[in-house]
A = this chain, B = another copy of it.
């Protein structure tokens, strides 16, 4: 069983600048409204250093949740948005020439492993295979990171935990996590919050009154029912907050919803018209 070491960003032997990729846990808890048992599950996994996969749609608060857990567990956080051009080298580190000499610079994942940070790989399914494979030995009983280029095998410090996010709604026919990767993670499911929680978020983040927030959440519920009518994805809590902010700045609710809610969702004229009916019916 793993005990969590006190975090000290200064006692690592890596180069100073790269330490910047590490965010210290925030002093104040980020605004986060819990939806279920995600906190207990995450804490149980963290206690054993088990890797976690956050499963859920766009904009439902996965990134915010990780920031919240970084505060709650008092662990530093390293966040990496994954994409096709992120290489294993970006994660593990590289040799740099500085002042005529060659010095080693830890990559973000190495940094996280050395410091016992939470390492959050956002949308990991977008990564190349070499990135996915490099996290394998960190996500089983070995908890180590071999760095061929540096001739070193880093044992993850206590407190280190891998977290990945994954949106099962997308159809990636070509890109998928292999079973041998998936079975290294326990999953924490996410979905849009229940109406009263979502309303509270819209009031808090969007700075509108209770009544407007109620209308926006009700509108979202109706639009989300259109999913089977050609919407690639339904409006997230994030777009409701964006619409609320425009309204708080004096834009009319109908214009704000067209700009923040229907515009980002689709370019299809028929679907746009259907959403417009819902918007005009609400305000």
Interface residues, chain A, CB within 8 Å of chain B?
A: 15-21, 23, 37, 40-41, 43-45, 47-48, 50, 53, 55, 58-59, 63-64, 79-88, 90, 95-102, 105, 107-108, 122-123, 126, 128-130, 132-134, 136-137, 140-142, 146-148, 150-153, 167-168, 170, 178-180, 182-189, 205, 232-233, 235-236, 238-239, 242-243, 245-246, 249-251, 255, 258-260, 263-265, 267
Contacts and interface: CB of A to CB of B under 8 A. Distances in A.
A129 B85 contact: yes
B126 A133 contact: yes
Nearest to A98: B102
Contacts of A79: 137, 146
A148 to B, nearest CB: 6
Given A238-B140, A263-B187, A58 B180 contact: yes
- Tell me how many chains of this kind the complex includes: 6
Nearest to A107: B148
A260 B186 contact: yes
Contacts of A243: 186
User: Chain A interface secondary structure, helix, strand, loop or mixed?
Assistant: mixed
A259 B41 contact: yes
B151 A239 contact: no
A40 B252 CA distance: 11
A148 B264 contact: no
